[in-house]
Amino acid sequence: MAELPWQLFRFCPRCGTARADPAAREPAFGCDRCGLHYFFNPAIAVAALILRDDGRGLFIRRAKDPEKGKLALVGGFVDVGEPAEQALRREVREEVRLELGPLRFLSSNPNDYEYRGVIYPVVDVFFVAQAEEPGRAAALDGVASFSWEDPARVDLDSMAFASMRDALERFRRGGRQR
């Protein structure tokens, strides 16, 4: 059974004292001995609905778990010290070899990302952007394949994460602004 990060801390990482309440459910760790108080804040991930001039969007098929084989938007995790917009541009280059025009914020959504038995709370930040040279797209890191689809016709149940389904629904309600 997958655990939340704070459920894994059974000993203080600073002084090694056993956790007073090993069944604690709050998203923080406190040590009575050394005073360490650690908050388990969500990770931040970014993704984009990348559009061509004809309005079709780039959807990838995930090559790795979680949700291997499902459709997704291009994106990934933000590194420490990295602005979200920079992280998105980096992830897009790494996954599909594209450069993006200006980014337009679409939405942010919570997401539980299960990886190797741990559930990571994540805040997914979604953008919409134009591909500068859509013909350069290639399936690279973590991408089994890709296709350019009409965002209005993509089956929401085929999307990898609830947060992505929600972002795509928001895009559909807001129109194809560029």
Spatial contact of 134 and 92, defined as CB atoms under 8 Å apart = no
Instruction: Flag whether pLDDT at 23 surpasses 60.
Output: yes
What's the whole-model pTM score? 0.90
CATH of the domain at 93: 3.90.79.10
Residue 176 has pLDDT above 80, yes or no: no
User: Which residue, among 122, 113, 127, 112, has the nearest Cα to 170 in the 3D structure?
Assistant: 127
- On whether both 83 and 134 belong to a single domain, the answer is yes
| Same domain? 55 vs 134 | yes
pLDDT digits (tens, 9 = 90+) for 89-112: 999 999 999 999 999 999 999 999
Residues 2 and 89 in one domain: no
Residues 128, 164, single domain; the answer is yes
Higher-confidence residue of 19 and 68: namely 68
- The answer to whether residues 21 and 49 belong to one domain is no
When divided into structural domains, the chain yields a total of 2
More confident residue, 161 or 118: 161
> Would you state the pLDDT for residue 177?
42
Same domain, 70 and 148: yes
Say yes or no: 1 and 84 in one domain: no
Task: Tell me, yes or no, whether 49 and 124 share the same domain.
Answer: yes
In this structure, the answer to whether residues 87 and 147 fall within a common structural domain is: yes
Q: Does 120 share its domain with 145? A: yes
Do 6 and 85 lie in a common domain? no
- How far is Cα 30 from Cα 104, in angstroms, rounded to an integer? 40
How much is the mean pLDDT over the chain? 93
Residues 71, 25 within the same domain: no
pLDDT, tens digit (0-9, with 9 covering 90-100), for 116-159: 888 899 999 999 999 999 999 999 999 999 999 999 999 999 99
Determine the pLDDT at residue 1. Answer: 76
Closest CA to 165 of 87, 93, 59, 65: 59
Give residue 1's domain range: 1-41
Per-residue pLDDT reduced to its tens digit, 44-89:
999 999 999 999 999 999 999 999 999 999 999 999 999 999 999 9
